[in-house]
Amino acid sequence: MLLPLQFCSVGRLLLAIHGLSFLLPVAGVANAACGDEPVTTQGAVAASDQPNILPEQQRFFEAKIRPVLLDSCGRCHSTEGGQGIRGGLSVSSRESLRVGGESGPAVVPGDLNASLLWEAINYRGLRMPPNQKLPPEVIADFRQWIEMGAPDPRVPTEQVVQSKVTPEKIAEGRSFWAFQMPQRSELPPATQWSSAPIDRLLARQYTVRNLQPAPDAEPLTLLRRLYLDLIGLPPSPDQQQRFAAAWQQDPQQAVETTADELLARPQYGERWGRHWLDVVRFAESTGKEVDVSAPNAWRYRDYVIDVFNEDKPYDRFVREQLAGDLLAAKTDEQWARQLIATGFLALGPKALIEQNPRQFQADLIDEQIDVTTRVFLGVSVACARCHDHKFDPIPQSDYYALAGIFQSTETCFGGVRSPRNRHPSNLLILPVDDPNPSDTPLSKDELAELLRRRDEVQQQAAEARRAAFRPQPGGTNPQANPANQFILDQQATQLTTRINSVDENGQPLTVCMGVQDRPQPQDARLLIRGEIDQQAQTVPRGFVQVLGGPVAAMPANGSGRLQLARWIADESNPLTARVMVNRIWLHLFGEAIVRETENFGASGPGPTDQQLLDYLAVQFMDNGWSVKTLIREIVSSRAYRLSSAWNRQRFEQDPDNLYFARAQPRRLQAEVLRDCMLAASGRLDLQRPRGSVLAQYPAAILGPNGPVGTVMAPAATRPGAGPGMSPAGGPETSTGGPLARRLQQLGGAAGRFRPGQVQGNPFDASVAYRSVYLPVARGLLPRALEVFDFAEPSMVIGQRESSNTPAQALYLLNNRFVIEQSEVLASRLQQESADRTSQIQLAFRLVYGRAATEQELAASQSFLLQAADVSVGLAEFCQALFATAEFRYVN
């Protein structure tokens, strides 16, 4: 085991610069299937052509500095040395010296104290070169060089990647169906069966393919379908009776009236908001190797639910998620909602233990590009990170044109600095008073005591770190024990976390995840094979060329996110409306028109009925991008009312139901199954819980045994000074005065100080509120959701898996939650009626949405008669109903 005093001088240098991370292997970029692109080089710029370097300065560098860098440092810190670039520090160029290693610059022109190289060659704890200290005259040369501004004539040879995707190929690629604007085609003539536009378009397919559509479903089957599709809850017995009576009078009117009632209920937003949360990979933790909780992610979840309930135009919804911080707002409440909306870009999984900050940033941007293009455009531009897109005419430069936009954007996701979290960030302070419910204020004395204790512990921790480099005759300095350092650092970070969760008066701060523009926007460098150390030409910020549309000039003082948001949400974009209506159709029919909902490119399956898809897209935009209006039109169609009953000829002619001539039986999603059990038992609480259970565990590291209550530290580099300012009301703009555009930040606040082990299980699914509000940690999902194919929260999921496994049957037969709901339902039946037949019929109506048949009634009565205990028997009967396929599926 190596002790701190046994490190060689190089080890001490790396320890000081990078912490213990140098003991771990440097993470590289795994890029299987990267293509080879033609690479050319531009000649290096001559020293005489470089401004601000005098001839005598160049001679000094070439005679005094360059030889020492190459001979004494280059073996470990250059690609030519044979040992790679240790610690991310290269001495091969001016830029690499000034950028430095993983934790800071090696040379800061004119500033000796800030130059780690100066500390190292003077053996001030750090030792470089490790074997022998440089002669005094050489050290004096380096002092003179840094103080004169570190003039360095070396300029790296610029490599230029030549794309195979030429402008001609891009223009040719626009002929692909998905990259052309959707067109409203002429509708076929109306018939008695097909009077609505959707039905007329489908009827044309039936005629061409000699398909006979299924008959209408039974009224109560259709009612259950409507309820489960629109609000994710079953109809009550009273609602069943009313619908059956209305159906006898006018089936079409009955469906439209019921649809309007359901779309107006708040449960609609919870059901359809959850669909959107699948697509945007919503979770309340960071995932990957270290799964750290995100206690403010719930604000984005609630924002999405409210958006669907308000029926906010989808184009506005898109713009708010990509650039809500750059849109005008008339009130602080609206401004807060727009900031929360940008959490879309901050929610993704993150490798917090990544040692290289540049690699972490590149991966973060890649994830943002991937989710933006797949969610809104249905194509994966992230495939062009390492090379030109293999299937679509998307050159690698298009990827880096988008990367420049996100590189010019600061992502604020919170977190705390610790040995297991190397990349904490800020959070955004909201201009409203709405802290997490679990956050409590501090008195002035409590805050002062926390500040005093933090300063004391930080001083002790600093002394423990210094002891690691202090020689101790006869052995190791006992103060250099790494365990002591870790404990002191942990205590300091816990205290800092608690301090940063309140303002200067001790009041809890209202914060959210989100993004904002960096002060200085910057175009991205194209990376050869996606490798951060292989930079090629600079790519101007821009959009995906093959999609065309109006291309706005990138602002000199902004990232370009607002321009990107407007480009995506513009009616001239050929994909945005198509992608969204395709998802809506999927959730109502069980299959999408384009079966791969996030792949509208050349490698995808294409639409089974492009005229239908284009009609829906144009109709969607013509109706103001209203999701509710489109849903109402679809569920009012005759096609939505079709039965799923078996018919041999129909199945043989269209086994995959590509043309929707019958209804598709669908297994209920995990949340709907759980909510339906709660609804049947009468325990369901329809009130929205405030916040999230995980908000009680800020910065906890989650694992299979529940959150670990060790709360670690925030970065605390830029403490917030107050709430964010709203931009002036009016048209959308990314300009304005500095006060109008200012956005205060909280320096990495993580929430409450909770030392010790967290008590209780925040993932207990026995709570009675709706499943959309259950905590979603990437590494630890509630069993009630996981076993029934809950969407993988680290991925863009437009369509969930639908499996049928033994684990699901075992869950329904043995899980305590299911048993409890069965017992509560049995008690409800006994309270409603003492008559056994009435109890059975009520159970069938509550669980299946229909009355029991005579055969089912007889079998149920026979089962109950055999029960030794009436209550136990009735509970077992209810659990048997929950375990059936009819309950798990919507027909």
pLDDT at 8: 41
* Stretch 618-630: mean pLDDT: 98
DSSP state, 480? G
Q: How many C-beta neighbours within 10 Å does residue 247 have?
A: 20
Q: How much is the mean pLDDT over the chain?
A: 84
Q: What are phi and psi of 767, to 5 degrees?
A: -60, 155
355 in helix, strand or coil? Answer: coil
pLDDT at 31: 37
Q: Higher confidence at residue 20 or residue 362?
A: 362
Q: State the angle between helix axes of 576-589 and 357-377 in degrees (0 to 180), rounded to the nearest 10.
A: 70
Tokens at 396, concatenated: 């690698």
- Cis status, amide bond into 129, omega within 30 of 0: yes
Q: pTM for the full model?
A: 0.81
* Stretch 399-407: mean pLDDT: 97
Instruction: Quick: pLDDT tens for 203-225.
Output: 999 999 999 999 999 999 999 99
Tokens at 609, concatenated: 């009925």
Nearest Cα residue to 27 out of 289, 281, 415: 289
| Most confident among 20-24, 279-283, 449-453 (mean pLDDT) | 279-283
Q: How many C-beta neighbours within 10 Å does residue 158 have?
A: 16
Residue 728 has pLDDT above 80, yes or no: no
Sign of CA dihedral 187, 190, 196, 199: negative
Count CA within 13 A, CB hemisphere, residue 322.
Answer: 28
Instruction: Quick: pLDDT tens for 308-364.
Output: 999 999 999 999 999 999 999 999 999 999 999 999 999 999 999 898 999 999 999
Tokens at 486, concatenated: 């870790």
Nearest Cα residue to 711 out of 722, 723, 695: 695
Q: How far apart are CA 585 and CA 601, in angstroms?
A: 19
Residue 796 has pLDDT above 60, yes or no: yes
Q: State the angle between helix axes of 561-568 and 396-407 in degrees (0 to 180), rounded to the nearest 10.
A: 130
pLDDT band at 706 (very low <50, low <70, confident <90, very high): very low
Amino acid residing at 415: G
Amino acid residing at 50: Q
- Residues across the chain: 891
Tokens at 430, concatenated: 């909201």
All residues at 6 or more sequence positions from 226 whose CB lies less than 8 Å from its CB, including other chains? 255, 258, 259, 262, 635
Minimum mean pLDDT among 68-72, 701-705, 874-878: which range?
A: 701-705
Q: How many C-beta neighbours within 10 Å does residue 463 have?
A: 13
CB burial readout 747-775, b (16+ within 10 A) else e? bbbbbbbbeeebeeebbbbebebbbbbbb
Q: What are phi and psi of 755, to 5 degrees?
A: -70, 165
Across 191-235, the runs of DSSP E, i.e. the strands, are none
Sign of CA dihedral 124, 128, 134, 139: negative
Count CA within 13 A, CB hemisphere, residue 673.
Answer: 30
pLDDT at 784: 84
* Stretch 848-877: mean pLDDT: 95
Tokens at 393, concatenated: 């005419």
Nearest Cα residue to 256 out of 660, 633, 585, 628: 633
Residue 405 has pLDDT above 90, yes or no: yes
Residue 631 near residue 226, CB atoms below 8 Å = no
- Percentage, residues of the chain above pLDDT 90: 60
Q: How far apart are CA 887 and CA 891, in angstroms?
A: 10
Q: DSSP secondary structure string, 572-621?
A: T-SSHHHHHHHHHHHHHHSS-SBSSTT--STTS--BS-HHHHHHHHHHHH
769 in helix, strand or coil? Answer: strand
| SS3 readout for 266-322 | HHHHHHHHHHHHHHCCCCCECCCCCCEECCCCHHHHHHHHHHHHHCCCHHHHHHHHH
pLDDT at 462: 78
Burial class of residue 557, CB neighbours in 10 A (0-12, 13-18, 19+): exposed
pLDDT at 877: 97
Instruction: Quick: pLDDT tens for 752-783.
Output: 223 233 334 555 556 899 999 999 999 888 88
User: What's the CA dihedral at 698, 701, 702, 707 to 10 degrees?
Assistant: -60
Q: How many C-beta neighbours within 10 Å does residue 76 have?
A: 21
Minimum mean pLDDT among 174-178, 464-468, 547-551, 837-841: which range?
A: 464-468
* Stretch 55-77: mean pLDDT: 85
pLDDT band at 476 (very low <50, low <70, confident <90, very high): low
Q: How far apart are CA 161 and CA 536, in angstroms?
A: 7
The enclosing H or E element of 814 equals helix 806-814
Q: How far apart are CA 833 and CA 634, in angstroms?
A: 40
Q: What are phi and psi of 805, to 5 degrees?
A: -120, 160
The enclosing H or E element of 882 equals helix 870-882
Amino acid residing at 871: S
Residue 684 near residue 675, CB atoms below 8 Å = yes
The span from the first CA to the last CA of the chain, in angstroms, equals 64
379 in helix, strand or coil? Answer: coil
Instruction: Quick: pLDDT tens for 478-495.
Output: 666 676 777 777 677 678
All residues at 6 or more sequence positions from 796 whose CB lies less than 8 Å from its CB, including other chains? 279, 280, 281, 370, 371, 374, 375, 598
* Stretch 512-535: mean pLDDT: 93
Q: How far apart are CA 862 and CA 826, in angstroms?
A: 17
pLDDT at 703: 56
Count CA within 13 A, CB hemisphere, residue 838.
Answer: 8
Amino acid residing at 592: A
Question: CA 769 → CA 673, 682, 687, 726, distances in Å?
Answer: 13, 12, 7, 34
Rg (CA), the chain: 32
Residue 851 near residue 224, CB atoms below 8 Å = no
DSSP state, 501? T
